[in-house]
Amino acid sequence: MFDDSTSESKAVAKCEVDTERPNENDRLMVTDENLHYQVRQTHNTKTVQMDFEVPGQPSRDKYRSQRLVEMIHIFSPINGVVWLRFHLEQWIKKHKRTLHKLFLMVLCFAYFCYLGYAAWYRFGDDGSVRLVIITALVSLGIMYHLIKQRYGMAIYNNVVFPIANRLRPYGRIINRYLFELTVTLFAVLAVVIYIILDVLIKRPRNAISAVGLFVFVLVMFFFSKHPDKVIWRPVLSGLLLQFIFALIVLRSTWGYYAFDWLGDRITDYMKYAEAGSKFIFGEGFMEHYFVFQVMPVLIFFSATIGILYYLGWIQVLIEKIAFMMEYTMGTAPMETLHAAVNIFVGWGETLTIIWPLLDKMTLSELHTVMTNGFATVAGSTLGVYIMYGAPANHLLSASVMSAPAALAMSKLFYPETVKNKNREDECKIPKLGSGIIDAASIGAVGAISIVAHILVSVIAFISLLEFVNVTLQWFGDRVGLTPPDYPSLTFQLICSYIFWPMAYLMGVEPEDCSVVARMVGIKTFVNEFIAYEDLGIVKRNREAFGSYNGTWHKDNSGNIILESLNQTLKGGIMSIRSEMIATYALCGFSNVVALGIMIGAMTAIAPNRKQDILSTSFRALLSGCMACFMTACIAENFQDYTLLYRPR
C-alpha cells in the first residue's frame, strides 16, 4: 500500500485513501515512533502525497525559518503594494467599460473647453478655421460610427426594410432594365443641356474639349474588342459621375475653395519632410533636390498613408466610393473596389487585395484591373508631383475623377461578353500594422521599393532619352535641321507633333499645344515623373516671365529668351489654363515602362493567366491613356476660370 523512500531529512510516500467519506478531514497528523509525517488531502482525489520528517534532522529548524520568512513577507510593505496593485487591477478589469466611457467624456469635455477658449482668444484667421473644420469632420465621423454601431441594425429593420417591402410590389410592375435606362438617359440629357447652355453659349472656347470628349468616346467604341457587346450603362454612368464631381469641385465656388484649401494643407504637410531630410543629409540637402528633397516626401507621405490605413479612415473612404460606383455603374464588386482602392494606393499594392480572384476573372475584368492601374496614381506619389509644382487641388480631383473614367473606358474598349459566376466574391481590405507606430513604420519601409524604382527608372530613362536625342540631332544635322534656322530634331519635338491633335481636343490653347503634346509624349513613352518635372519647369518659366518687363523673343525650339537679363527659359511657357489641363492629362501610370512592370507583376502572382494578361495588357494601356485624356476634357469643360485666375 505504501511506496516510500527516505533521504537524510525527508521522505515521500504515496498511498490510496478513501475520499468519499463526507466527514473526512482535509488535514491529518499521523505519528509513528520513528517518523512524523503530515498528510494533505483534497476531496475527491484518491492519491495523497505525504511529506515525512525524520526526527533528529535539521528540517524542523528549516521549517521554523521558512515560517519566519513567510510572516515577514506577509507584514512587509512591499507585499502591501503587491496586494494593492492586484486588487486595483481586478477592479479596473471589472469596471473597464465604465472607466473607458468616463475617460472619453473627460477628454471630450477638456477638448471642447480648449476649443471654446481658443475661439474666444482669437477667431477669424486661417488657423481658427482649420481648427473648426477638423473638429466638425472628426465629430461627424464619430457620430456616424456610434449611430451605425448602436442603431444601424435597428434603423435597417425598422426603416429601410419596411420601405423596401412596400416598394417591392412596384418593382415587379416596373421593368428594372427600362427604369435604369430611362434614368441614365435623363441624366445624360441633363448633362448635354448643361453643356449647351453653360459651355457652348457662355464659354464657346470650351466647346473644343466637349467635342474632344465625344471624339475620344467614338474612337474607343470604333476600336472596341466587341463593339456589338458594349453595355452603355457603365460607360454613361462613369462619365456622369465625372461630370457630377467636376461640377462640385471645379464649377461651384464652395467646392473649388474646399479642394483648394485641402490642397494647400497637404502641400504644407509635405514640407515637414524637410526636417527629416535636413537631419539625415545636412543643411545642403536642397542642392540635390530630387533625391534628397522629393524622395523623402514620398517616404513621409507613405508613412502617413500607413497610419490612415491603421485608423481605418482609408477603408471607409474606399468602401463608400466603391459602393457609389458599383450602384450607379453596375460593375462587379471586385473591379469596382479595385478602382476605388487605386485612388489612394498604387496598383502594385492593390494586387495583394485581388490576387485570390485573378484566376476567376473574365478577360474584361482582367482588362479593367489593369486599366485601373494605368489610369490612376498612388497617393504617395502625389507628393512627388506636388513637389514639382503641380497644383495639389487638381491632383486630388484628378485622382478621384479618373477612377470612374477607368471603369467606363475599360467597359467600352473591352466589353463583358460572359457571365462571371464569381461576380459576388468580395475582396477584403486588410488593416495595416498592430499600432500607429508599427503602421507608420510599415508604410515608410514599404516606400523603399517605390523610391528605388523611381530613382532607377529616372536615371535609366533620362540617360536613354539623352542618347536618343543626341542620335536624332545627329541625323537631323545631316539634313540641315540645326538651330537657329530650324529646331533640333529630338524625341520631344517628334512627340509635340504626334500628340498635338490630342492636346488640342483636350482644350489646350493652340499656342500651347506643342508644349502639352511634348509632355504627354514623355509621359507615355518614358514616365510621368519626367513629364511632371517638365511641367514644373514650364510653370516656373511662366512665373519668371510674368515678372519680366523687358524685351524678349522665342527661338525655333520654343525657348523664351529674355534679352535684358540674357536668360533663356528652356521649354517655353504656357497659360494657367493649359497647365491645369496638362495636370489632369499626365495624372496616371499609363506609360510603356509601367506596361512591362505590370505584366511582370501580374504574371508572377497569376501564372495561369499569363497569356490572357499579355493579350489584354496593351489595350488596357490605351484605355488608361484615354481615361486620363477624358478626365482632362471634363475638367476643362467645367473649370470656372474666374476661380483659376484669382490671385493667391
Q: Residues with Cβ < 8 Å from 160, sequence gap 6 or more?
A: none
**What is the average pLDDT across 66-82?**
69
Q: How far, in Å, are 202, 323, 536, 584, 629 from residue 580 at the CA level?
A: 20, 30, 12, 7, 12
Q: What is the pLDDT of residue 607?
A: 86
Instruction: Give residue 82's Cα distance to chain centre.
Output: 48
The predicted-structure confidence for 231-273, as pLDDT tens digits, reads as follows 888 888 888 888 888 888 888 888 888 888 888 888 888 889 8
The tens digit of pLDDT for each residue in 118-141 reads 988 888 887 888 888 889 888 888
Q: Residue 585 — pLDDT band, cuts 50, 70, 90?
A: very high
Contact 615, 426 (CB under 8 A): no
Judged against a pLDDT cut of 70, whether residue 462 lies above it is answered with yes
Quickly state the pLDDT bin for 486 (edges 50, 70, 90): confident
Whole-number percent of the chain with pLDDT over 90: 19
* More confidently predicted of 138 and 9: 138
Distances (CA, A) of 509 to 500, 516, 578, 644: 11, 10, 7, 15
Burial zone of 27 (CB within 10 Å; 0-12 exposed, 13-18 middle, 19+ buried)? exposed
Is 265 within 8 Å of 356 (Cβ atoms)?
A: no
**pLDDT average, residue stretch 555-561:** 84
Q: Which residues lie closer than 8 Å to 354 by C-beta, 6 or more apart?
A: 334, 337, 338, 369, 427
Residue 142 to residue 107: CA distance in whole angstroms: 14
Structure confidence at residue 13 (pLDDT): 42
* Average pLDDT, integer, range 434-441: 87
Question: What's the CA gap between 619 and 414, in Å, rounded?
Answer: 8
Q: Is 390 left (phi over 0), alpha (psi -120 to 50) or beta?
A: beta
Confidence at residue 312, expressed as pLDDT on a 0 to 100 scale: 81
Highest mean pLDDT among 154-163, 167-176, 352-361: 154-163
CA gap 224, 531 in Å, rounded: 29
Give dist(CA 401, CA 390) in Å, integer: 17
Compute the distance between CA of residue 267 and CA of residue 447 in angstroms, rounded to an integer: 19
Which residues contact residue 18 at a Cβ distance below 8 angstroms, ignoring those fewer than 6 apart? 24
In this predicted structure, what is the pLDDT of residue 472?
Answer: 92
As given in the structure block, the three cell numbers for residue 499 are 500628340
Each residue's pLDDT tens digit, 43-54: 444 444 444 444
Cα 543 off chain centre by:
32
Average pLDDT rounded to a whole number, residues 57-66:
62
Given pLDDT bands bounded at 50, 70 and 90, which one contains residue 37? Answer: very low
Q: How far apart are CA 403 and CA 242, in angstroms?
A: 9
Angstrom distance (rounded) from CA 632 to CA 584:
5
* pLDDT value at 309 more than 50: yes
Range of lowest pLDDT (31-40, 330-339, 515-524):
31-40
pTM for the whole thing? 0.75
Average pLDDT over residues 477-499: 86
Q: How far apart are CA 255 and CA 260, in angstroms?
A: 8
